[in-house]
Chains A and B, each alone.
With several copies, the nearest count.
Chain A
Amino acid sequence: MTVEPSFLQYDERIQEGDTVIVYVTYGQMVPTVVKRGQTLMMKYGALRHEFIIGKKWGQRLSATAGYVYILRPSSDLWTRSLPRRTQILYTADCAQILSLLDAKPGSIICESGTGSGSLSHAIALTVSPNGHLYTHDIDETRTTKVLEEFKHHGLSTVTTAVVRNVCTSGFHVENSADGVFLDVPAPWEAIPFAAKSLSRAKGGRLVSFSPCLEQVQRACLAMAAAGFVCIETIELVPEQKKIVGQHRQTLEEFEEIGDAYPKERKRNQEGQLVENTPRVSTAIVFPYSQPTHTGYLTHATLLPVLD
């Protein structure tokens, strides 16, 4: 069975038209749509698309100057590798936003702005196949680009992208959404419109992302004024660690060889190779400099209107 290219389902083997994530090194992944005749250039040289077609997902492939892995696209990998047109929301925040929106298959979600479509993809994948994402941006190049991506990624049927300033004109749909997400400079202007777009009969959830506390303060007031309840603001600070092989020295060893990490094996006086004290794996904070703030997430509930 051959399926249309889609982030949602795929064959065991890669077909022409599939979007693949080429894993080059840790931190360097390149998304590309596989097309005969094309060649991908990266750190490890050139890789002809012909060689990708028919291979298994996850397989190692030789390029001209090294090897790479061809990975299945996922929401997280897309976020890590997508072409950035704006600052984007990273996986930790995307994950949290999906949860705060109570997003699941069938949910109807409004989002503004579209930006580079990092969160848009996460939402679209989550609400598939019977839900819908309405994403809004003031910049037409962004909505056009994300629609193109959605088409390549098999997400067209669950998405609509609209050029629209939600702060002045509101959302594309009214009285129907289950959740609204805002990442706009003046969320307080969009909040009354967010209330309107949520389903009156079912109620719904609102999540607003803002880097600055002053934005949060005004957003909270606007949410309360628009009738939202259970208003809460949270902040996520992820910390990344790496595993290193650690050598624990005794004072005697330190006196003898200093703090240089000794080789795993060394020669003794007779010239024989002997094992040194084994290394212990341990986690340390790395990289030394890390993101310590992206934004505050303010979330709230709009209660259903009982008739």
Chain B
Amino acid sequence: MSVDRLIEELHLQEAPVSTAAAENEVTEAEFSESSDPRVVIAPSALKLEPEQKRQKLEMDAVLEMKKQGISGQEVVAKLVEGSASFQTRTVFSQSKYIKRKSKKHSDRVLILRPTIRLLAKAYYLKDPDRLAMLRADQLALILQMAGVHHGKNVVVFEQTLGLITSAVMERLGGSGGCVHIHRGAVAQSIPCVHSMNYDESTSSTLLPVRIKCLLAGKQLPYENNRKPVNEEEENNDDSTAQKAVEKLEDQDQEALARRNDRLERERRGLELIDEEKAHSLIIGSRTVDPISVLELVFPKLAPSASIVIYSPHQNMLVSAYDWLAKRQTVNLVLTDQMCRIMQVLPDRTHPLMAQHVAGGHVLSGIKVIDQ
């Protein structure tokens, strides 16, 4: 699933008006806007027919009408005609139907610039598992507890698709460093960094460091194969082999430059850790035991550094708490937070009847040293 598509879908959610909605979005809206607001709890039990079946007008026909420049108002009129259920609705329900369809088929689209907040929301709704269920509100808390701002040196180990790394980079604003600990030869699976399209200044603070190097306690050379592992596609069948050879020299130059850049960034990242200049450590863990990261990084953190550990698994944080409590750490605290959206409408104010609640826990503390 492409990030662009995510961002697009996100717009649909936040946008008061849109044209590009998939038809199933309508059905969802009908659940949450049902006249009995408690309906949303167990929609399956109600066995509502999907909108498609009750609507005789095909989706294709609607799109065709739009191509022809037919106005949103006319499209809605056709939809009302085609709706099997319209006549059986109450007047109130009919007016709601028209209102909803009018919104949906009016001719404006809202385009928003990607922001960390919107990105966090989009990925959380689409793929909470791969994001370690990190909610936008908890990401905000992590940044604040870690004290990320211009000029800070922050070490990040995360399994959240680059979201934490990207958020840290934005807050550094081109000064300081964001050491990103990654597996393999090249930082992979960090779409949240790439999709923000950071300028050179902000990008300059990203310092990817290989786990291998951290484990070895020193920078390692790349393995002997010409191309960095995992980076280029392994598309070597005969028909394309010829072309590949032709491009080889250019590629060599480019690859070499990229590799040198990576090595230089890694050197800076490792140096920053070794010289005890890291002011914050953020761990956003899904499968990796935070203690495994703490063992390598904690001893080298600058005194008075903040440690912030996020995980959907409370027991991992309990173990990490015990680990930190035995070392020199103060202000250790484990928190969890509920984030609820309110529906604010005249005479119908209440918290949303259902929403995504998956999330995690945040452990934070401050490293201190003896006299």
Q: What's the A-B contact tally at a CB cutoff of 8 Å?
A: 291
Q: Indicate if B110 sits at the interface (CB-CB under 8 A).
A: yes
Task: Say how far A7's CB is from chain B's closest CB, in angstroms.
Answer: 8
Is the CB–CB distance between A294 and B41 below 8 Å? yes
Task: Say how far B269's CB is from chain A's closest CB, in angstroms.
Answer: 16
Chain B residues closer than 8 Å to A274, beta-carbon distance: none
Complex Cα distance, B2 from A278, in Å, reads 35
Q: Indicate if A246 sits at the interface (CB-CB under 8 A).
A: yes
Chain B residues closer than 8 Å to A285, beta-carbon distance: 133, 312, 357-359
Is the CB–CB distance between A291 and B41 below 8 Å? yes
Chain A residues closer than 8 Å to B149, beta-carbon distance: 8, 75, 105, 125-126, 128
Q: A91-B144, A240-B334, A258-B183 are in contact. Are A9 and B342 (CB under 8 A)?
A: no
Is the CB–CB distance between B288 and A251 below 8 Å? yes
Is the CB–CB distance between B318 and A243 below 8 Å? yes
Complex Cα distance, B339 from A292, in Å, reads 10
Partner of A251, one of B117, B145, B293: B293
Is the CB–CB distance between B318 and A23 below 8 Å? no
Segment of B32-40, B50-58, B73-81 engaged in the interface with chain A: B32-40
Is the CB–CB distance between B141 and A281 below 8 Å? no
Complex Cα distance, B343 from A298, in Å, reads 11
Mask: chain A, 268-294; 1 = CB below 8 Å from B; 0 = not: 000000000000111111101111111
Q: A216-B342, A248-B287 are in contact. Are A57 and B304 (CB under 8 A)?
A: yes
Complex Cα distance, B285 from A250, in Å, reads 11
Is the CB–CB distance between A76 and B349 below 8 Å? no
Is the CB–CB distance between B304 and A99 below 8 Å? no
Segment of B209-217, B231-239, B243-251 engaged in the interface with chain A: B209-217
Q: A59-B303, A230-B14 are in contact. Are A87 and B147 (CB under 8 A)?
A: no
Q: Which of A56, A240, A246, A292 gathers the greatest number of chain B CB atoms within 10 Å?
A: A292
Is the CB–CB distance between B370 and A60 below 8 Å? yes
Which residues in window 322-361 of B have CB below 8 A to A?
Answer: 322, 325, 330-331, 333-342, 344, 346-359, 361
Chain A residue at minimum C-beta to C-beta distance from B172 = A105
Task: Say how far B189's CB is from chain A's closest CB, in angstroms.
Answer: 9
Q: A58-B368, A292-B352, A292-B355 are in contact. Are A249 and B288 (CB under 8 A)?
A: yes
Chain B residues closer than 8 Å to A62, beta-carbon distance: 371
Q: A62-B371, A217-B344 are in contact. Are A234 and B339 (CB under 8 A)?
A: yes
Is the CB–CB distance between B215 and A105 below 8 Å? no
Chain A residues closer than 8 Å to B144, beta-carbon distance: 75-76, 91, 94-95, 98, 122
Which residues in window 129-152 of B have CB below 8 A to A?
Answer: 133, 136-137, 139-141, 143-145, 147, 149-151
Q: Indicate if A46 sits at the interface (CB-CB under 8 A).
A: no
Complex Cα distance, B275 from A208, in Å, reads 43
Is the CB–CB distance between A251 and B366 below 8 Å? no
Chain A residues closer than 8 Å to B117, beta-carbon distance: 99-100, 102
Chain B residues closer than 8 Å to A86, beta-carbon distance: 36
Complex Cα distance, B117 from A240, in Å, reads 24
Contact count band on A: 35 or more
Complex Cα distance, B289 from A250, in Å, reads 6
Q: Indicate if A17 sits at the interface (CB-CB under 8 A).
A: no
Mask: chain A, 85-111; 1 = CB below 8 Å from B; 0 = not: 011001110111011101011100000
Contact count band on B: 35 or more
Task: Say how far A131's CB is from chain B's closest CB, in angstroms.
Answer: 9
Q: Indicate if B59 sits at the interface (CB-CB under 8 A).
A: no
Task: Say how far A137's CB is from chain B's closest CB, in angstroms.
Answer: 15
Which residues in window 228-257 of A have CB below 8 A to B?
Answer: 229-230, 232-243, 246-252, 254-255
Q: Indicate if B284 sits at the interface (CB-CB under 8 A).
A: no
Chain A residue at minimum C-beta to C-beta distance from B319 = A281
Q: A59-B369, A214-B347, A282-B313 are in contact. Are A292 and B354 (CB under 8 A)?
A: yes
Chain A residues closer than 8 Å to B292, beta-carbon distance: 249-252, 254
Segment of A32-40, A66-74, A169-177, A189-197 engaged in the interface with chain B: A66-74
Chain B residues closer than 8 Å to A238, beta-carbon distance: 335-338
Q: Indicate if A84 sits at the interface (CB-CB under 8 A).
A: yes
Q: Indicate if B306 sits at the interface (CB-CB under 8 A).
A: yes
Q: Indicate if B16 sits at the interface (CB-CB under 8 A).
A: yes
Is the CB–CB distance between B341 and A234 below 8 Å? yes
Task: Say how far B294's CB is from chain A's closest CB, in angstroms.
Answer: 10
Task: Say how far B28's CB is from chain A's closest CB, in angstroms.
Answer: 11
Is the CB–CB distance between A293 and B351 below 8 Å? yes
Complex Cα distance, B37 from A214, in Å, reads 14
Is the CB–CB distance between A76 and B303 below 8 Å? no
Complex Cα distance, B123 from A219, in Å, reads 29
Complex Cα distance, B365 from A71, in Å, reads 12
Q: Indicate if B266 sits at the interface (CB-CB under 8 A).
A: no
Partner of B39, one of A87, A102, A288, A298: A87
Chain A residue at minimum C-beta to C-beta distance from B359 = A285
Task: Say how far B127's CB is from chain A's closest CB, in angstroms.
Answer: 11
Chain A residue at minimum C-beta to C-beta distance from B301 = A58
Is the CB–CB distance between B46 and A255 below 8 Å? no
Complex Cα distance, B144 from A162, in Å, reads 26
Q: Indicate if B3 sits at the interface (CB-CB under 8 A).
A: no
Complex Cα distance, B211 from A235, in Å, reads 39
Partner of A293, one of B147, B159, B350: B350
Is the CB–CB distance between A254 and B183 below 8 Å? yes
Is the CB–CB distance between B215 and A255 below 8 Å? yes
Complex Cα distance, B338 from A242, in Å, reads 17
Chain A residue at minimum C-beta to C-beta distance from B39 = A87
Chain A residues closer than 8 Å to B317, beta-carbon distance: 283
Is the CB–CB distance between B350 and A240 below 8 Å? no
A-B contact pairs, 6 of them (CB 8 A): A62-B371, A76-B144, A84-B45, A102-B116, A240-B333, A291-B353
- Contacts A99-B136, A102-B115, A236-B339 aside, 11 further interface pairs with beta carbons under 8 A come to A8-B150, A56-B303, A57-B303, A57-B304, A58-B369, A239-B335, A246-B313, A251-B214, A252-B292, A281-B318, A293-B354
Interface residues of B (CB under 8 A from A): 14-16, 36-41, 45-46, 110, 112, 115-117, 128, 133, 136-137, 139-141, 143-145, 147, 149-151, 159, 170-175, 183-184, 211-212, 214-215, 279, 286-289, 292-293, 296, 302-306, 312-319, 321-322, 325, 330-331, 333-342, 344, 346-359, 361, 366-371
